[in-house]
A and B are shown apart, each in its own frame.
Chain A
Amino acid sequence: MTTDLQMDQPDKVTPLLQLSHVSISAKKMPSRLLVNDVSFTIDSGKTTCVVGESGSGKSLTALSVMGLLSKQLQLNSGKVLFNDANLGVQDLTVLSEASLQKLRGAKIAMIFQEPMTSLNPVLTVGYQIGESLTTHLGLKGSALKTRIANLLEMVGIPPGRANSYPDELSGGQRQRVMIAMSIACEPSLLIADEPTTALDVTVQAQILKLLDDLKTRMNMGMLFITHDFGVVADIADHVVVMFRGEIVESGTKAQVLSNPRHPYTQALLACVPDAEGKKALKPIDYAWLPENKARQQKLEVTV
């Protein structure tokens, strides 16, 4: 195997990932949709940010892409079309668990919010990075060691740290290890679920820059979940705003941030404090923004 990070160029016309009309509910309550008719696309080398409050369904949407919804939940309808360079377009929702296993970690990788809890405390970070390389690419011995050292270097950790345990690293370093793990097999899609929420601002800025660089270098598509519009402004190409399980607005970063059309997006932006301190904070008036009103408006504003 080569350590070169060249990606096969996927088909230009077909998007890397296309969610179409995805709905999710609890098995016990199929009538109440937690994610309702969500559709968006992600292109190679681009970042799509999904923004929303807790409970808006943004994490569920991401988990449904990986086929990792918990047993209490079900996919009511919809397709998740993933464009693989070798296998062509596949609907991830109908794939067998075995085929999904082959994609996870290899073609589609995920970074979680808490770097403290998502690493195994009794295994060295080198071992944890190597796991997917052995499973998916069959790397062993010195080839494996070299690749692990390369990956650590790419994410800005001295390669000698491969023998460290997670508790010996800082929060930022642990998140870098998580990133090294996720990009180990050169995935074409990276899903990042609030990867910087638990970090200090200075570390957050470094991690965002690292993810952005890697995305460009490896031509990855990135699905980035966050509730922080500041982060969106730094990293997104496309923005999808979710409210109570539905997409209320989507568009390019410039459209959504500079010229938000949906009242919910406007209200959410008005909650974000600015660094100049000139803006008066305005909490969302949910009474004024009832669910059905948002739903009606959705039809008008979504492109």
Chain B
Amino acid sequence: MSDLILVANKLVKTYTQRSGKFGFGTTFVKALDNVSITLRTGTTLAVVGESGSGKSTLARCLLQLQPLDSGEVLFAGQDLAKMQASALRAIRKNLQMVFQDPFASLNPRMRIGEIVGEGLLIHGLGSMTEQQQKVIAMLKRVGLTEADMQKYPHEFSGGQRQRIGIARALVLQPKVVVCDEPVSALDVSIQAQILLLLKELQQEMALSYIFISHDLRVVRHIADDIVVLYQGKVVEQGKVAGIYERPQHEYTQNLLAAIPGKEYNLGKKVVNA
């Protein structure tokens, strides 16, 4: 059990939707239908599926950003779903999230120093100068500079903003990071930089990732294990290599068949710089 850092058992989450004439009726949409996943320490678990498959709901429910209908989320032997709000707040520094849209997820009226340092302030980690130093070190680690602390989010490009989002999540030295489509809004060239940065940081800081994506090419590069969600249900899970080579479920086969540009072995030639 010790090598499993996060275990989710039989998660159920239902949304109600108004329907029928004038919206007087209600229908129930099962966003998560008995979803169970396990995250091994120091590895990356990819959650793939199309829009509406429940992958973002899963991310939010794992971190208790949304209440579950039923099921348990075990982190360090404790069930997060049953925890009191104050205890949850204390444990949250171990569970961080990197969001999809680097344009929407940073407060435009806060300086970068404040955004990245806010978590340290809330959790009261270290004195003011220690916090300052941690923020500077983290910004430098993700490829930004000390001077950037005084700037506002609009002064940065999409790739740089995603670096800020990563610094914000990692400055607390979390154990588990949930990345919700962290590179899908970025150009391929920037995407490659961010993926490599995430990989390096995983090794340095012994992080475990839950990586949510709809791009199977990206997943192949970053993930160790994979969970395929379809209409709120887990249809297939296992090691990445196995699933790519021998997909069992029809939906996984469709997803793999839809990867663009397969007949060309793209980028076979590498720059000899």
Binding site for B on A (CB under 8 A): 53-54, 171, 200-205, 208, 227-234, 257-260, 263, 266-277, 279-285, 288
Within 8 A of A (CB), among B233-273: 240-241, 244, 254-271, 273
Task: Assess whether A271 is in contact with B191, with CB atoms less than 8 Å apart.
Answer: yes
Contact of A268 among B50, B188, B244, B259 (CB under 8 A): B188
Q: Does B217 contact A (CB under 8 A)?
A: yes
A51 to B269, CA, bound (A): 18
Which one of B25-33, B110-118, B192-200 is at the A interface? B192-200
For B265, the chain A residues whose CB sits under 8 A away are: 274
Contact of A201 among B196, B260, B273 (CB under 8 A): B260
For B192, the chain A residues whose CB sits under 8 A away are: 270-271, 273, 281-284
Ordered nearest first, which 7 A-B pairs have the shortest CB separation? A233-B261, A230-B261, A230-B260, A269-B267, A277-B220, A271-B192, A205-B258
Task: Assess whether A283 is in contact with B271, with CB atoms less than 8 Å apart.
Answer: no
The minimal Cβ–Cβ distance linking B25 to chain A, given in whole angstroms, is 17
Answer whether A233 and B189 are a contact pair too, CB < 8 Å, given A201-B260, A272-B217.
no
Task: Assess whether B50 is in contact with A228, with CB atoms less than 8 Å apart.
Answer: no
For B214, the chain A residues whose CB sits under 8 A away are: 200-201
For B221, the chain A residues whose CB sits under 8 A away are: 273, 277, 281
A216 to B256, CA, bound (A): 26
Q: Does B201 contact A (CB under 8 A)?
A: no
Q: Does B187 contact A (CB under 8 A)?
A: yes
A257 to B262, CA, bound (A): 12
Answer whether A274 and B270 are a contact pair too, CB < 8 Å, given A232-B261, A281-B195.
no
Task: Assess whether A202 is in contact with B240, with CB atoms less than 8 Å apart.
Answer: no
For A228, the chain B residues whose CB sits under 8 A away are: 188, 260-261
Given A53-B187, A273-B220, 18 more A-B residue pairs with CB atoms under 8 Å apart are: A200-B214, A201-B216, A201-B255, A228-B188, A233-B262, A233-B263, A234-B261, A260-B269, A270-B192, A270-B267, A274-B220, A275-B259, A275-B262, A281-B195, A282-B271, A283-B189, A284-B192, A288-B273
Task: Assess whether A229 is in contact with B254, with CB atoms less than 8 Å apart.
Answer: no
Answer whether A208 and B267 are a contact pair too, CB < 8 Å, given A227-B188, A228-B188, A271-B191.
no
Q: Which residue of chain B lies nearest to A229 when distances are taken between CB atoms in the complex?
A: B266
Answer whether A171 and B51 are a contact pair too, CB < 8 Å, given A258-B264, A269-B266, A277-B244.
yes
Q: Does B88 contact A (CB under 8 A)?
A: no
Task: Assess whether B264 is in contact with A233, with CB atoms less than 8 Å apart.
Answer: yes
Task: Assess whether B50 is in contact with A273, with CB atoms less than 8 Å apart.
Answer: no
Q: Which residue of chain A lies nearest to B264 when distances are taken between CB atoms in the complex?
A: A233
Interface residues on B, range: 35 or more
Q: Can you list 15 A-B contacts with CB-CB less than 8 angstroms, sorted by A residue number?
A: A201-B259, A203-B50, A229-B266, A231-B260, A266-B269, A270-B192, A271-B267, A272-B267, A274-B220, A274-B266, A275-B220, A277-B221, A277-B241, A281-B221, A284-B192
Task: Assess whether B269 is in contact with A275, with CB atoms less than 8 Å apart.
Answer: no
A282 to B190, CA, bound (A): 10
A279 to B264, CA, bound (A): 13
A207 to B190, CA, bound (A): 26
Q: Does B158 contact A (CB under 8 A)?
A: yes
For A227, the chain B residues whose CB sits under 8 A away are: 187-188
Answer whether A274 and B260 are a contact pair too, CB < 8 Å, given A281-B192, A281-B195.
no
Task: Assess whether B254 is in contact with A202, with CB atoms less than 8 Å apart.
Answer: yes
Task: Assess whether B188 is in contact with A272, with CB atoms less than 8 Å apart.
Answer: yes
Q: Does B148 contact A (CB under 8 A)?
A: no
Task: Assess whether A231 is in contact with B261, with CB atoms less than 8 Å apart.
Answer: yes
A257 to B266, CA, bound (A): 7
Q: Which residue of chain A lies nearest to B240 when distances are taken between CB atoms in the complex?
A: A277
Task: Assess whether B261 is in contact with A202, with CB atoms less than 8 Å apart.
Answer: no
Within 8 A of A (CB), among B162-207: 187-193, 195-196
Q: Does B101 contact A (CB under 8 A)?
A: no
For A231, the chain B residues whose CB sits under 8 A away are: 260-261
Contact of A204 among B188, B260, B263, B269 (CB under 8 A): B260
A267 to B269, CA, bound (A): 9
Q: Which residue of chain A lies nearest to B262 when distances are taken between CB atoms in the complex?
A: A275
For B217, the chain A residues whose CB sits under 8 A away are: 230, 272-275
Answer whether A279 and B267 are a contact pair too, CB < 8 Å, given A201-B216, A229-B261.
yes
A275 to B266, CA, bound (A): 10
For B191, the chain A residues whose CB sits under 8 A away are: 271, 273
Q: Which residue of chain B lies nearest to A171 when distances are taken between CB atoms in the complex?
A: B51
For A274, the chain B residues whose CB sits under 8 A away are: 217, 220, 265-267
Task: Assess whether B216 is in contact with A275, with CB atoms less than 8 Å apart.
Answer: yes
Contact of A267 among B264, B268, B271 (CB under 8 A): B271
Residue from B215, B221, B260 with most neighbouring chain A CB atoms (10 Å): B260
Task: Assess whether A229 is in contact with B188, with CB atoms less than 8 Å apart.
Answer: yes
For B254, the chain A residues whose CB sits under 8 A away are: 202
Task: Assess whether B263 is in contact with A53, with CB atoms less than 8 Å apart.
Answer: no
The minimal Cβ–Cβ distance linking A28 to chain B, given in whole angstroms, is 20
Residue from A258, A260, A280, A281 with most neighbouring chain B CB atoms (10 Å): A281
